[in-house]
Structures are given as structure tokens and as C-alpha cells.
Amino acid sequence: MLVGPLLRLPQAGVRRMAHYKPHFNPAKRELRIQSLQLNIDRAKCFSTTLSQFQSDALDRTRNIGIIAHIDAGKTTTTERMLFYSGFTRRIGDVDEGSTVTDFLPAERARGITIQSAAITFHWPPGDGAEGQAAPRDPALPRSANSHTINLIDTPGHADFTFEVMRSLRILDGAVCILDGVAGVEAQTEQVWKQASTYKIPRVIYVNKLDRDGAAFGRTVREVSSRLSVYPAVCHIPWFQAGNGSFIGVADAVNLQGLRWKEGEDGRSVKMLTLEQLDAEEPSLAEELRRARIALVELLSEQDETIVEKFFECDEDHQAVSPMDILDSLRRCVLDPTSRIVPLFAGASFRNMGVQPLLDAVVNLLPSPPEAPDPEVSIGDVKGGLRRLLSGDLILEQTEQVSASSKGKKKKKNAVRPNPKDAIGKLQSCALAFKVVNDAKRGVLVYVRVYSGSLDRNSLLFNTNLNLSERAPRLLKMYANDAVEVDSIPAGHIGVVVGLKHARTGDTLLSYAGNKPTPPEPLTALQLRPIDVPPPVFFTSVEPHSLSEEKRMQESLDLLLREDPSLHVTVDEESGQTLLSGMGELHLEIARDRLINDLKAKASMGRIEIGYRESGMGVSGPVTKIFDKDVAGRRGKAGCTATVEPFDGETPADIADEDVLMSKTIEGNRIIIRAPGLQVERVRDEEETSPFLPPGMDLNTLRTAVQNGALAALARGPQFTFPMHNTQVTLTINPAEHLFGGDSTTSAISAAARQATSAALRDLVSGAGTVMMEPVMNVIISVDEASLGSVVHDISSSRGGHILSLDEDVSLSTDAETLPSIDPKRVYAPTDPFETSSVGKEVPVTASRQRTITAKVPLKEMVGYLKHLRSLTAGRGTFVMSVDRFENMSAQRQKAVLAELRGGF
Ligand SMILES: Nc1nc2c(ncn2[C@@H]2O[C@H](COP(=O)(O)OP(=O)(O)OP(=O)(O)O)[C@@H](O)[C@H]2O)c(=O)[nH]1
């Protein structure tokens, strides 16, 4: 934005803003969050008969999350939010391990948030039902009425990136907390980009301004340069006498000062008008006027309405009403093309700045109907939920399917589904965003409902697992307290109790009719689908005794439902159970969960890198006939398998009518062919064949063959690492491979496994296999002084490949790369001990932050943080994510194998 010539102090005779905040009492100039005790009592006394959701009007609901760099103060801020809203009686303390949101013992012990907990509270305090009948008074800010806030606490550690994505996708808005000392860090950039992928409207809160070295102005400039957005500075910090301790904020929207008393719980806030500030803190008053001008100027660049208001006020920046500014900020926040992000200031630990931030959540972030349309997919077709509900997306999907099946023989009795019929039958769709094992209530599945209403006792079809299960109980959660409800309407967040299968990330549908599955193609519907990155670390899990094995398996199953980015495989030959995950900390936390929380009597081995194995050529077709009694039942089935290299991208040629399935799973492609099966679509949704074993449907056959192939692919033939970039084609010929009732699912699975394993072994005698290792995308933030040594260390000692210095290299393929913003053109107040203010050059000094983007083998990154800290005097930070698996050179392979064998 242009601040230069326009940044001038307003003319004399400035009009005073009318104060508008009803819960701030201007007469007393002292705010006390009202009737705290009353609100706590109310919170405890929710009627269990009334559906609490009914009283929470959607436009007075905010589904928000807090995103930040680790340790920026998410938990500390959340605890204050809960306290000021009357939800808790005392402020929890992360350092004492007494917080509400971090309620897993493992989290409390580590002081980090590892699990997203959803909490509902009201702001301003009330029960969210007040004044529901009365329409909103447009002259008052939304924060004049009590709102229901569903807060999802997202994890901050890099190992939990996938978990961050999972919680982000159900948010309608987010607060991004920055550490006022550290500024924008590599991980902030990463999580910011992730939020941009889902186009989530955001506000920024600069925290920890009480700490020595806090630099609000520098942080604001970093927001523009590193996050590529225009910070709309709504608050500036108030340091006593310009450079003393942090005592409050000056509010550029309402043109007032908010001062908190040192050492109190923060419920008392002294408010000062601009005139009072002039008398008490003239330099702050002057800066506040600058901030107001900059704010109006910035908004004017993107919002026509504020320009009109500005002209109506005779071009007096101070005369524009707070309501007009709030409305303009809101329009910008909700406009996906706008790059304006409102920015607030505080020190949560000192209980300063949290109530105005809560007002901002209510005033500026969207209600569920105002939030960006969530992405859904049906098969390969993607689009918005609204397009799905209109039937257009289904139409597109059916057209695509019929186009791709052109040239195929028409199936007998084929019926094309009517999109309107399918949508008409859809009663609700919801996303299970978190599965939590509650000691008292059992397994809780947190859901966000996107359309319709999820009712108690309805049958829920899980499109990820292809099964239905009933929802016997529904709850609305208040951290560890719960209220029983009859339904969860669209836009709301609630909990389903009693589901046996649903996992974190699954899409759940309820539909009309008594069929076991919803009409096609709804069975393939996915809400906000995300790609699960491959696990790169693994460890073995061993029960203490044979009798503990069942218990351990149950605990592992639960762990996997909670966190599907963990994987469990059983090595067929050694019988060892292997648990794999995204990072060392990820597996350490899983170990804690398993052993300390779930009380599994098991021990875990060393955490090791998950290498992969890949074939160098094509195997011959190998046929295996399995013929054995399984659990007292005769089983006989056969299968032919061929394996070949697969580049991970080339689409499968599915124009072959014999192809039953072609799926890429965990970096390998599984193709199932069944020539001569003569598949027929009988009715709308059922496929069958006269040659299937009695009682078996096509889906069961597919799953059995797939599971057999997956079990074989889990162990490479030469190095015993899981196979990668491998395509296996399995052929089931009914005449040769199916033997009526003897061909049970386990016999078919066993035949598929044996055939795949034999084809893999065939590779070894032919072209051979090669080891692959995970290569990471690494983004390192360091100061100028350490740049040289860090770059040298990465490229020479760690075999890394530097991609860029300082350039914005997008980690996510979806995130759009925005043109950069010149921080010189952004308003930022002077930091204490800094000389000039606006329009300054970002100084090129030793403290300037530099960003290194590189590709480095994961093996070389183990324990890197400690090393980076020593190279950068403790200031360097980094984030990394898996780029891909790469073939290892013969020399590197030999060295790694020697190390592994030596048990190093
Ligand atoms: N001085 C100061 N310290 C703060 C402030 N806010 C948080 N802290 C401290 O910073 C540390 C991290 O705070 P948390 O609230 O746990 O941060 P978090 O972002 O939730 O961290 P994760 O859960 O690990 O992602 C704790 O020691 C807090 O006491 C603040 O405003 N001022």
C-alpha cells in the first residue's frame, strides 16, 4: 500500500468516535467481564433434553482454530479465552501442566499440543441463545451478542503437519499466533500456506510482546514479506512511556487505549479515549493516529465502500466510524481474493490482549454459511460442496465415467444413476475430524457436519472404509464435559459415540432408504480429501507375553483410528509388528499413547528410517494355487501376478473391460483383472457376476485380492523393506482360480499374497531390486551471519541439494504462489530502540532472516535441530516434509546396510 504522501496527521478538530462496545462500559472506563460465576453455573446446567445446537444460530457460530509455530502461545491463549468466556474458573498454565486443551497425559508432560481437541464456549459470555429472535442491529458490532465458538486446537510440531491439515480443513476461520520475539518462522510459513490451500479466512495475533526483544514492527513487516499478505494493523503495542514494559494496546479501529493491570488476571481493562491518551501517552496517541490513517488507506485499496465512507467524512481518517471500519475489514477477510489480514497484539501469558482478540474472532471471522465452499471429490471429479448438492458434480462424474468406458463392451442391464435421485436421498454428510479414546465415554468421533442434519440412530456410511454403522449417541463437547443431543445440524461440530470403525479423516453420509449403501456414486464421496504422506520412520512393537498380544493389537487399532498417518504392518516372515509414522517425535508420542495411556504391555524397538525397495525390471507372470485348511475350513483359490516398475504418476490404462480395480496405494499400484467374470450391474448400485463364489460380492473379492497383494508388497524380496514404485497386476481367471465355496476370502487373499511374493522373488533372479531412501524438502530459517556455514553444512556434509536462497518455494502444490509484497510499503509502528518508522528499509544486518530451501536425504537430517542450533547460536529453525523416495547409489546402499547390520 502507499503510505508515503498519504500518511499525514489528521487535521485539527477531529471528531471523536462514539464508543460502541456494549460490554465495555465507557462510563466507568473499566471493564470487568460480567457475571463470571453466573456463566460458569449456566455452563454446568445445560439441559440434556433441549438440543443445544438448536439454540446456537448458525450466524452466531464460529468454527475456528489457532495456528502457529510451536511455542508461539496457542495453549496459553486458549486457556485465557476459556477463562474470560467463563468456561473455566482459573487460568490453566502450560508450564504447570494444568491446561484444559492439552488433556492427554503425554501432552501435559511435554507441554506441547499433539491432539486437536474441540471446545465449545461463548463469547461474549452468555449461553449463545440470547437475543436469537432479535435480528442483529447493524449499528452494533457482532460482539454485542453472545456467539458460540467451537475452537479446534491444532498441533504445532512439524511431525504433526498432517494432523494440522486434518484439523484445518474443518475450520471456517483461524487465528494465527506469532511470537513477537521470533516473528514469522519457517513453521509459521508452512502452516500459513496450508491454511491458504483451504482458503481459510484469518486474523493474526502477535503474542509475547512482554518479552525482552519483542519487535512488533519487525514482525508486521515480516508478515508482509514472508506471508505475502497486507497486515491491517488494528492494534499497536503500548509500552509504558514508549520503551518501558508492555502494559496494553492502542486500538486503531476504536481509537482508544486498552490498559491492563500488571499481575492481575486480565479481567479489568482500563480504557482511554484518544484525548486521554494525548494527555497520558502523547507519543502513543500520535502513533495511533498514524495507525488509523494507514488502516483506512489500506482498506481503501481493496474496498470501494470504505472509500465512499471516507469521502462522506470529508477525507478525515479519524472520522470514519469504527463500525464502517469493522465492516470493511470483515468484507476483506471474507473475500478470497483480498490479501488483507487484520493484525492484533498482546501478551497472553500476562493476560493482556485476549478479550479484544475474541471480539475480532466474532466480528471478523465467518460464520459457517459465510465460509468458503469446502472441496469434495467423487472419484476423479472435484468441486465445491454446493455443486455437489445441486447435482452438477454427480452429472459431471457420470459423464466422465461413461466417457472413460467408451469402447468397452456395454454391461448387461446397465442403468445410469440419476444425479438428482442420489442427492435427494442424501440426508447429511459429515467429516470425522478426530477420534479420541475417552476413559469414561469410550471412543469419541468428532464430526463437522457439512449438509443436512446428522441424527441420533441414523445409519452412517463411511465412504473411506466402505461400510455402514449406526450412530447411537450424539454429544456436544465442552472440553471434558459433554451434553447429549438428538442431532447435529450442518455447520456445527459434535461428537458421535459408539462408532466401531470410523477413523480420523473419514467421510460419513446418512441417506434415506434402508439399503446398506447409499446410491451410486455417493459411495465415492470425499469431503476435503487429503493425501496421506508416506511414513518415513518405523519401529517394532513387541508384546511382553503372548497373552498380551490381543490387548496390544486392540490398542494399536485404536491408535490407528485416532491417527491414520500411523501405519501398522506385520512382517509375514518374522511375525514382527512394525509401527511406522511421519517423524521420530510422532512415533515417540505413539509409544507414550500405547504404553502409558492405553496401558498396552508392550515394548518398542529403536526408531529407524523407513527405507523402501523397488524392482529394476519386469517379473514373469507367476501363478500360485493356495490349497489348505484355514481355521478348520477348507480354502482353495488361485491367482497370477506380474510386477513391474511404476513411476508413481503414469495413469493406468483402464480401458480394458477386464480391469476390476486400479488403485495407487502407498506408492505402489495394484491392478486387478478378472477376464471372463462377466460383471453385471443389476440395479443402480450392485455389481455381480455368475462366476463368483457363492455369497461373495465383487467388492469382497476386490478387497481380498488387494489385501493379499498389500501384505506381499510390505516386504521386499532382497532387503526386506516395503516395496515402492511397484505395479502389481493380479489376474483372477474364474475358470482356473475360483473353486466355488472353497474359494473363501482368506484363500483368495492368501493366493494373491503368494503370487505377488513369488513374482517379487522372480525379480531378484532377473533385473534385481534397489534400495530407496526418503528425501526431504527442507526449509531452514537462519540469520544472515550463519547463512554461509548452514549452506555449507547442508551441501557438503549432508549431501543436500540447495534449491534456493530466500525464494518463496511452495511446499504444497496446491498453494498458489502470490507476488511478493514490499515491506517498505507497509505500515508498522516503530519498535522501542528503533529509529525511524514507516517506509523504512528492512536492514541488511546480521539479524536479517534468510530462508534456505533444499532437498536432503532424511538420514542426514536425523538430529539436525541440535546441529543447526549450534551453527546458529540457537536461533535457526527448520521444517521438512517428505518430497519423495529416491533410488540409492550402490555405494550409499552398501554403507547404509552395513550400518543397519552393525546395529548402529
Ligand atoms: N513471556 C511470555 N511467555 C509466553 C506468552 N505466551 C506463552 N508464553 C510461554 O511460551 C511457552 C509456550 O506456550 P504454549 O502456550 O505452550 O505454546 P503453544 O503454541 O501452545 O505450544 P505447542 O502446544 O507446543 O504448539 C510457555 O512457556 C508459555 O508460558 C506470553 O505472552 N509472554
3-state SS record for 403-464: HHCCCCCCCCCCCCCCHHHHHHHEEEEEEEEEEEEECCCEEEEEEEEEEEEEECCCEEEECC
Q: From ligand 1's centre to the CA of 248, what distance in Å? A: 18
| pLDDT for 817 | 61
Residue 140 in grid coordinates = 452494533
Residue 812 has pLDDT above 50, yes or no: no
How many A from CA of 354 to the centre of ligand 1? 14
For range 224-238, the mean pLDDT: 95
Q: Report the number of secondary-structure helices (H) and strands (E) in the chain.
A: 23, 41
Q: Does the pLDDT at position 91 exceed 60?
A: yes
Nearest CA to ligand 1 atom 4: 349
| Lowest-pLDDT choice from 100-104, 727-731, 826-830 | 100-104
* Residue-wise pLDDT tens digits, 357-393: 999 999 999 999 899 888 888 877 788 888 888 777 7
- Report the separation in Å between the CA atom of 762 and the middle of ligand 1, taken as the mean of its atom positions: 56
C-alpha cell at 699: 467388492
| Rounded mean pLDDT, 19-37 | 32
3-state DSSP assignment of residue 731: strand
Ligand 1 pocket: which of 66, 71, 207 to mutate (most atoms <8 Å of CB)? 71
pLDDT of residue 403: 60
pLDDT at 823: 85
The binding site comprises 68-75, 153-157, 207-210
pLDDT at res. 857: 93
**Do 31 and 25 meet the contact criterion of CB atoms below 8 Å apart?**
yes
| Distance in angstroms (rounded) separating the CA atoms of residues 378 and 388 | 9
Residue 778: partners with Cβ closer than 8 Å, 6 or more residues away: 794, 800, 852, 853, 854, 855, 856, 861, 878, 879, 880
Helical residues (DSSP H) of 738-782, grouped into ranges: 745-765
- Supply the residue whose CA is at minimum distance from atom 14 of ligand 1: 73
Question: Which cell numbers in the block locate residue 433?
Answer: 475430524
Looking up cell 500488571, which residue turns up? 262
Question: Lowest-confidence range among 114-118, 245-249, 787-791?
Answer: 114-118
**Probe residue for ligand 1, chosen from 66, 67, 74, 76 as the CB with the greatest number of ligand atoms within 8 Å:** 76
Q: 88-102, 475-489, 685-699: which range is least confident on average?
A: 88-102
Residue 676 near residue 691, CB atoms below 8 Å: yes
Ligand 1 atom nearest residue 72's Cα: 19
- Predicted confidence at residue 203, as pLDDT, reads 98
Q: Mind spelling out the 3-state secondary structure of 100-137? A: CCCCCHHHHHHCCCCCCCEEEEEECCCCCCCCCCCCCC
Residue 229 in this model has a pLDDT that exceeds 60: yes
Q: Cell numbers at residue 13, please?
A: 478538530
CB 530 within 8 A of CB 166: yes
**Rounded mean pLDDT of the chain?**
81
Question: What distances in angstroms separate CA 116 from CA 153, 207, 473, 483, 561, one per listed residue?
Answer: 5, 21, 21, 19, 14
What's the pLDDT score for residue 666? 82
Q: What is the residue with the minimal CA distance to atom 2 of ligand 1?
A: 208
pLDDT at residue 310 in the model:
95
Q: Which pLDDT value is given to residue 881?
A: 80
3-class SS at 832? coil
Task: Give the model's pLDDT for residue 18.
Answer: 26
The amino acid at 145: N
Q: Which residues line ligand 1 (CB under 6 A)?
A: 68, 70-76, 94-95, 111-113, 156, 207-208, 210-211, 347-350
| Nearest-atom index, ligand 1, CA of 350 | 31
* Residue 329 predicted with pLDDT over 90: yes
What pLDDT score does 16 carry? 27
Nearest Cα neighbor of 507 from 465, 472, 558 is 465
pLDDT average, residue stretch 190-206: 90
Q: What is the structure's pLDDT at 31?
A: 35
Nearest-angstrom CA–CA distance, 78 and 76: 6
What is the structure's pLDDT at 789?
92
In this predicted structure, the answer to whether residue 821 has a pLDDT above a threshold of 90 is no
Q: Is 505 left (phi over 0), alpha (psi -120 to 50) or beta?
A: left
d(CA 145, ligand 1 centre) in Å: 30
pLDDT of 39: 31
Please, what's the b/e burial string for 25-58 (b: 16 or more CB within 10 A of its CB; e: otherwise)? eeeeeebebeebeebbeebeebeeeebbbebbbe
Find the DSSP H helices in 733-830: 734-737, 745-765, 787-792
Give the ligand 1 atom nearest the CA of 94: 16
Sequence length of the chain is 904
Q: Is the full-model pTM beyond 0.80? A: no
Residue 307 Cα, ligand 1 centroid: separation in angstroms? 40
Q: What is the dihedral of CA 724, 729, 734, 740, to 10 degrees?
A: 0
pLDDT of residue 407: 47
Cα of 112 from ligand 1 centre, angstroms = 9
Distance CA(87)–CA(436), nearest Å, equals 22
Please check whether residue 220 is in contact with residue 886, taking contact to mean a CB–CB distance below 8 angstroms.
Answer: no
Q: Which range is least confidently modeled, 59-73, 440-454, 649-663?
A: 649-663
Listed range (790-799, 800-809, 881-890) with the worst mean pLDDT: 800-809
Q: What is the pLDDT of residue 174?
A: 95
pLDDT at 47: 30
pLDDT for the residue 844: 38
530 against 581, higher pLDDT: 581
Q: Which residue is closest in CA terms to ligand 1's atom 21?
A: 71
Pocket test for ligand 1, best of 349, 589, 879 (most atoms within 8 A of CB): 349
Average pLDDT in the 846-862 region?
82
The Cα–Cα gap between 587 and 594 comes to: 10
Strands 340-345 and 202-207: parallel
Name the percent of the chain lying above pLDDT 90: 39
CA 143 – ligand 1 centroid, Å: 26
pLDDT of 327:
97
| Comparison of pLDDT for 870 and 395, the residue scoring more | 870
pLDDT at 249: 97
For the cut 80, the answer to whether the pLDDT of residue 651 exceeds it is no
- Each as own residue / partner, the long-range contacts of residues 235-239 (CB below 8 Å, 24 or more positions apart, any chain) are 235/343, 235/344, 235/345, 235/346, 235/353, 235/356, 236/284, 236/287, 236/288, 236/291, 236/345, 236/829, 237/180, 237/206, 237/209, 237/345, 237/829, 238/281, 238/284, 239/832
Annotated binding site for GTP: 68-75, 153-157, 207-210
Q: Rounded mean pLDDT of 502-508?
A: 91
User: Can you tell me which residue has the cell 442391464?
Assistant: 413
Q: How far is the CA of 67 from the centre of ligand 1 (A)?
A: 13
Give 115's pLDDT tier (boundaries 50, 70, 90): very low
Q: How confident is the model at residue 532 (pLDDT cuts 50, 70, 90)?
A: confident
For residue 347, report the distance from its CA to the centre of ligand 1, in Å: 10
Please check the confidence at residue 262 and state whether its pLDDT lies above 50.
Answer: yes
Higher pLDDT pick, 220 / 467? 220
Strand partners, 772: 612, 887
Residue type, 524: A
- Specify the pLDDT at position 380: 72
Question: How far apart are the C-alpha atoms of 77 and 680, rounded to whole Å?
Answer: 58
Give ipTM to 2 decimals.
Answer: 0.98
- Pick the most confident of 288-297, 618-627, 844-853: 288-297
Ligand 1 pocket check: which of 94, 96, 208 to mutate, most ligand atoms within 8 Å of Cβ?
A: 94
Nearest to 584 by CA among 539, 532, 534, 531: 539
pLDDT in tens, 707-763: 999 999 988 999 989 999 999 999 999 889 999 889 999 999 999 999 999 999 999
